[in-house]
Structure 1
Amino acid sequence: MIDFKNSEYVKMKEIDPGSIFAEVQPLLINGEEVIGAYKAMRDYCVFTNKRVIAVNIQGMTGKKKDFSSLPYSKITAFSVETAGVFDMDSELEMYFSGLGKVKFEFTGRSNIVQIGQIIGTFAL
Protein backbone atom coordinates (compact mmCIF):
# COMPACT_ATOMS: atom_id res chain seq x y z
CA MET A 1 0.00 0.00 0.00
CA ILE A 2 1.12 3.54 -0.64
CA ASP A 3 2.51 5.21 2.47
CA PHE A 4 0.28 8.27 2.45
CA LYS A 5 1.78 9.62 5.69
CA ASN A 6 5.37 9.77 4.49
CA SER A 7 5.06 10.54 0.81
CA GLU A 8 3.37 13.23 -1.19
CA TYR A 9 2.47 12.95 -4.80
CA VAL A 10 4.00 15.32 -7.29
CA LYS A 11 1.35 17.77 -8.39
CA MET A 12 -1.07 15.91 -10.62
CA LYS A 13 -2.80 17.18 -13.74
CA GLU A 14 -5.96 15.95 -15.40
CA ILE A 15 -5.57 13.31 -18.11
CA ASP A 16 -7.90 11.47 -20.44
CA PRO A 17 -9.28 8.53 -18.41
CA GLY A 18 -9.10 6.40 -21.56
CA SER A 19 -5.30 6.50 -21.42
CA ILE A 20 -5.23 4.43 -18.19
CA PHE A 21 -8.58 2.64 -18.41
CA ALA A 22 -7.04 -0.69 -19.50
CA GLU A 23 -4.92 -0.76 -16.32
CA VAL A 24 -7.76 -0.11 -13.86
CA GLN A 25 -10.64 -1.79 -15.69
CA PRO A 26 -9.93 -5.23 -14.15
CA LEU A 27 -10.37 -3.66 -10.69
CA LEU A 28 -13.77 -2.14 -11.37
CA ILE A 29 -16.90 -3.78 -10.01
CA ASN A 30 -20.33 -3.98 -11.66
CA GLY A 31 -21.83 -0.53 -12.01
CA GLU A 32 -18.57 1.28 -11.25
CA GLU A 33 -17.68 4.05 -13.69
CA VAL A 34 -14.55 6.14 -14.09
CA ILE A 35 -15.31 9.84 -13.59
CA GLY A 36 -11.85 11.37 -13.92
CA ALA A 37 -8.13 10.66 -13.83
CA TYR A 38 -5.12 12.70 -12.72
CA LYS A 39 -1.46 11.89 -13.26
CA ALA A 40 1.88 12.99 -11.85
CA MET A 41 5.15 11.84 -13.41
CA ARG A 42 4.41 8.11 -13.16
CA ASP A 43 1.81 7.74 -10.42
CA TYR A 44 -1.84 8.56 -10.95
CA CYS A 45 -5.24 8.45 -9.31
CA VAL A 46 -8.62 7.58 -10.74
CA PHE A 47 -11.92 8.85 -9.38
CA THR A 48 -14.86 6.51 -9.90
CA ASN A 49 -18.43 6.69 -8.65
CA LYS A 50 -17.44 4.35 -5.75
CA ARG A 51 -13.85 5.18 -4.76
CA VAL A 52 -10.49 6.72 -5.52
CA ILE A 53 -7.91 4.31 -6.91
CA ALA A 54 -4.37 5.54 -6.22
CA VAL A 55 -1.76 3.87 -8.43
CA ASN A 56 1.90 3.86 -7.42
CA ILE A 57 4.20 2.82 -10.28
CA GLN A 58 7.22 0.97 -8.88
CA GLY A 59 10.60 -0.16 -10.15
CA MET A 60 12.73 1.05 -13.02
CA THR A 61 10.57 -0.51 -15.72
CA GLY A 62 7.26 0.50 -14.18
CA LYS A 63 5.80 -2.98 -14.65
CA LYS A 64 5.11 -3.35 -10.93
CA LYS A 65 2.12 -1.29 -9.77
CA ASP A 66 0.49 -0.82 -6.39
CA PHE A 67 -3.26 -0.13 -6.54
CA SER A 68 -4.77 1.36 -3.37
CA SER A 69 -8.55 1.46 -3.17
CA LEU A 70 -9.95 4.34 -1.14
CA PRO A 71 -13.75 3.90 -0.87
CA TYR A 72 -15.86 7.03 -0.46
CA SER A 73 -17.94 5.20 2.14
CA LYS A 74 -14.96 5.28 4.55
CA ILE A 75 -14.36 9.04 4.29
CA THR A 76 -15.06 10.75 7.60
CA ALA A 77 -14.05 14.26 6.46
CA PHE A 78 -12.45 15.97 3.49
CA SER A 79 -11.16 19.38 2.47
CA VAL A 80 -10.26 21.10 -0.77
CA GLU A 81 -7.86 24.01 -1.08
CA THR A 82 -8.03 26.10 -4.24
CA ALA A 83 -5.04 27.65 -5.99
CA GLY A 84 -4.15 31.22 -5.13
CA VAL A 85 -2.04 34.01 -6.57
CA PHE A 86 1.29 32.89 -5.11
CA ASP A 87 0.38 29.28 -4.26
CA MET A 88 -0.42 27.90 -7.70
CA ASP A 89 -1.38 24.37 -6.64
CA SER A 90 -4.59 23.00 -5.17
CA GLU A 91 -5.00 20.22 -2.64
CA LEU A 92 -7.45 17.51 -1.65
CA GLU A 93 -7.27 15.99 1.81
CA MET A 94 -9.47 13.06 2.74
CA TYR A 95 -9.66 11.47 6.18
CA PHE A 96 -10.47 7.77 6.26
CA SER A 97 -11.53 5.73 9.26
CA GLY A 98 -8.78 3.23 9.97
CA LEU A 99 -6.27 4.86 7.58
CA GLY A 100 -5.98 8.52 8.48
CA LYS A 101 -5.24 11.42 6.14
CA VAL A 102 -4.66 11.01 2.41
CA LYS A 103 -3.45 14.09 0.56
CA PHE A 104 -3.31 14.74 -3.18
CA GLU A 105 -1.82 17.84 -4.77
CA PHE A 106 -3.01 19.10 -8.15
CA THR A 107 -1.81 21.75 -10.58
CA GLY A 108 -3.58 25.08 -10.34
CA ARG A 109 -5.36 24.39 -13.63
CA SER A 110 -7.14 21.36 -12.16
CA ASN A 111 -10.78 21.89 -11.26
CA ILE A 112 -10.50 21.21 -7.52
CA VAL A 113 -14.04 22.43 -6.92
CA GLN A 114 -15.35 19.73 -9.28
CA ILE A 115 -13.23 17.14 -7.47
CA GLY A 116 -14.73 18.31 -4.16
CA GLN A 117 -18.23 17.99 -5.63
CA ILE A 118 -17.46 14.42 -6.74
CA ILE A 119 -16.24 13.49 -3.26
CA GLY A 120 -19.23 15.20 -1.64
CA THR A 121 -21.72 13.52 -3.96
CA PHE A 122 -20.54 10.03 -3.11
CA ALA A 123 -19.26 10.44 0.47
CA LEU A 124 -22.12 12.38 2.05
Structure 2
Amino acid sequence: MALFGNLVQGALGNYSEKTPEQLQKEYGDYLFDNETITMGYQLIRDALVFTTHRIIFIDKQGATGKKTAFRSIHLDSIIDVDMETAGLGLDDSQLTVTYLANVNQRSNNEVHQTHLFEFPKKTDILPVYRYLGSISIANRERINK
Protein backbone atom coordinates (compact mmCIF):
# COMPACT_ATOMS: atom_id res chain seq x y z
CA MET A 1 0.00 0.00 0.00
CA ALA A 2 2.89 2.40 0.73
CA LEU A 3 4.21 1.95 -2.82
CA PHE A 4 0.79 2.87 -4.22
CA GLY A 5 0.70 5.96 -1.98
CA ASN A 6 4.15 7.01 -3.19
CA LEU A 7 3.11 6.51 -6.81
CA VAL A 8 -0.04 8.58 -6.33
CA GLN A 9 1.92 11.33 -4.57
CA GLY A 10 4.55 11.18 -7.31
CA ALA A 11 1.91 11.47 -10.00
CA LEU A 12 0.56 14.54 -8.22
CA GLY A 13 4.02 16.11 -8.19
CA ASN A 14 4.76 15.45 -4.52
CA TYR A 15 7.94 14.22 -2.89
CA SER A 16 8.35 11.49 -0.28
CA GLU A 17 11.17 11.83 2.23
CA LYS A 18 14.34 9.71 1.88
CA THR A 19 17.27 9.40 4.26
CA PRO A 20 20.63 11.01 3.42
CA GLU A 21 22.12 7.50 3.32
CA GLN A 22 19.61 6.32 0.70
CA LEU A 23 20.26 9.40 -1.43
CA GLN A 24 24.04 9.15 -0.96
CA LYS A 25 24.01 5.63 -2.44
CA GLU A 26 22.25 6.83 -5.57
CA TYR A 27 23.60 10.36 -6.04
CA GLY A 28 26.84 10.56 -4.03
CA ASP A 29 29.00 10.38 -7.18
CA TYR A 30 27.48 13.67 -8.40
CA LEU A 31 28.41 15.75 -5.38
CA PHE A 32 31.12 18.41 -5.46
CA ASP A 33 34.23 18.32 -3.25
CA ASN A 34 33.40 18.62 0.47
CA GLU A 35 29.66 18.48 -0.26
CA THR A 36 27.42 16.17 1.77
CA ILE A 37 23.71 15.37 1.61
CA THR A 38 21.73 16.70 4.57
CA MET A 39 18.17 15.68 3.56
CA GLY A 40 16.15 14.81 0.51
CA TYR A 41 12.97 13.64 -1.15
CA GLN A 42 12.09 11.25 -3.98
CA LEU A 43 9.47 11.71 -6.69
CA ILE A 44 9.07 8.33 -8.43
CA ARG A 45 12.31 8.63 -10.49
CA ASP A 46 13.22 12.25 -9.83
CA ALA A 47 14.68 13.61 -6.59
CA LEU A 48 15.12 16.78 -4.58
CA VAL A 49 18.37 16.71 -2.61
CA PHE A 50 19.58 19.23 -0.04
CA THR A 51 23.33 19.36 0.49
CA THR A 52 25.73 21.50 2.45
CA HIS A 53 26.11 23.75 -0.65
CA ARG A 54 22.96 23.57 -2.77
CA ILE A 55 19.49 22.23 -3.50
CA ILE A 56 19.74 19.76 -6.38
CA PHE A 57 16.83 18.84 -8.68
CA ILE A 58 17.49 15.47 -10.27
CA ASP A 59 15.37 14.88 -13.36
CA LYS A 60 15.62 11.39 -14.86
CA GLN A 61 14.49 11.64 -18.45
CA GLY A 62 13.23 9.22 -21.09
CA ALA A 63 11.77 5.75 -20.77
CA THR A 64 14.89 4.23 -19.21
CA GLY A 65 15.87 7.15 -17.00
CA LYS A 66 19.51 6.82 -18.08
CA LYS A 67 19.61 10.44 -19.25
CA THR A 68 19.59 12.59 -16.13
CA ALA A 69 19.58 16.36 -15.67
CA PHE A 70 21.01 17.96 -12.52
CA ARG A 71 19.95 21.54 -11.75
CA SER A 72 20.92 23.49 -8.66
CA ILE A 73 19.99 26.42 -6.49
CA HIS A 74 23.07 27.37 -4.51
CA LEU A 75 22.30 27.95 -0.85
CA ASP A 76 24.27 31.21 -0.81
CA SER A 77 21.80 32.70 -3.33
CA ILE A 78 18.59 32.06 -1.33
CA ILE A 79 17.10 35.34 -0.07
CA ASP A 80 13.55 34.38 0.96
CA VAL A 81 11.31 31.41 1.68
CA ASP A 82 7.52 31.22 2.06
CA MET A 83 5.53 28.32 3.49
CA GLU A 84 1.93 27.26 3.01
CA THR A 85 0.74 24.31 5.08
CA ALA A 86 -1.77 21.74 3.88
CA GLY A 87 -5.48 22.29 4.50
CA LEU A 88 -8.21 19.79 5.26
CA GLY A 89 -8.94 18.73 1.68
CA LEU A 90 -6.54 17.54 -0.97
CA ASP A 91 -4.23 20.50 -0.40
CA ASP A 92 -0.51 19.91 -0.21
CA SER A 93 2.13 21.80 1.71
CA GLN A 94 4.23 24.22 -0.31
CA LEU A 95 7.53 26.03 0.03
CA THR A 96 8.46 28.84 -2.32
CA VAL A 97 12.14 29.73 -2.45
CA THR A 98 13.28 33.09 -3.86
CA TYR A 99 16.89 33.22 -4.92
CA LEU A 100 19.32 35.41 -6.81
CA ALA A 101 19.90 34.07 -10.30
CA ASN A 102 22.93 36.23 -10.97
CA VAL A 103 26.35 35.23 -9.69
CA ASN A 104 27.39 38.80 -8.87
CA GLN A 105 25.17 39.31 -5.82
CA ARG A 106 25.00 43.07 -5.45
CA SER A 107 21.94 44.81 -4.08
CA ASN A 108 21.72 47.18 -7.05
CA ASN A 109 21.86 44.44 -9.68
CA GLU A 110 19.60 41.63 -8.44
CA VAL A 111 17.88 39.10 -10.67
CA HIS A 112 15.29 37.17 -8.63
CA GLN A 113 13.80 33.80 -9.47
CA THR A 114 11.45 31.59 -7.49
CA HIS A 115 10.87 27.88 -7.29
CA LEU A 116 7.81 26.16 -5.79
CA PHE A 117 8.16 22.84 -3.98
CA GLU A 118 5.05 20.79 -3.21
CA PHE A 119 5.07 18.19 -0.46
CA PRO A 120 2.41 15.67 0.56
CA LYS A 121 0.20 16.64 3.47
CA LYS A 122 1.88 14.10 5.76
CA THR A 123 5.35 15.64 5.28
CA ASP A 124 6.52 17.94 8.05
CA ILE A 125 7.98 20.84 6.06
CA LEU A 126 8.63 23.05 9.09
CA PRO A 127 12.27 21.87 9.50
CA VAL A 128 12.97 22.62 5.81
CA TYR A 129 11.27 26.01 6.10
CA ARG A 130 13.29 26.92 9.20
CA TYR A 131 16.52 25.67 7.61
CA LEU A 132 16.02 27.67 4.41
CA GLY A 133 14.73 30.69 6.36
CA SER A 134 17.90 30.75 8.48
CA ILE A 135 20.00 30.55 5.31
CA SER A 136 18.04 33.42 3.71
CA ILE A 137 18.56 35.66 6.76
CA ALA A 138 22.31 35.00 6.77
CA ASN A 139 22.49 35.63 3.02
CA ARG A 140 20.61 38.95 3.30
CA GLU A 141 22.97 40.11 6.04
CA ARG A 142 26.03 39.08 3.98
CA ILE A 143 24.76 40.67 0.75
CA ASN A 144 23.69 43.93 2.39
CA LYS A 145 26.93 44.59 4.29
Name the TM tier (shorter chain). Answer: 0.7 to 0.9
Task: Specify the alignment match of 1:113 in structure 2.
Answer: 126
| CA deviation string 1:7-33 (max 9, x = no partner) | xx7111112232231342233234322
Of the three residues 13, 18, 25, the one matched with 2:16 is: 13
Shift in Å at residue 79 of structure 1?
0.8
Deviations 1:54-76, CA, capped at 9 Å, x for gaps:
10110100011101111111112
Counting matched residue pairs gives 116
Q: Which runs of 5+ in 2 are unaligned?
A: 1-11, 102-111, 138-145
Q: Based on CA coordinates, which of the two structures has the bigger radius of gyration?
A: 2
For 1:24 and 1:42, the matched residues in 2 are separated by 12
Return the match for 1:90 from 89, 93, 96. Answer: 93
User: Retained in 2: the 8 A contact 1:49–1:122?
Assistant: no
Structure 1: stretches of 5+ with no match in the other structure:
1-8
RMSD: 1.9
TM-score (normalizing by structure 2): 0.71
Quick check: 2:23–2:37 contact (8 Å CA) kept in 1? no
Secondary structure of the structure 2 residue equivalent to 1:92: strand
Q: Distance in 2 between matches of 1:45 and 1:81?
A: 18
Larger helix percent: 2
Matched, 1:101 2:104: no
Say if 1:50 and 1:122, in contact at 8 Å, map to a contact too.
Answer: no
Tell whether 2:34 aligns with 1:34: no
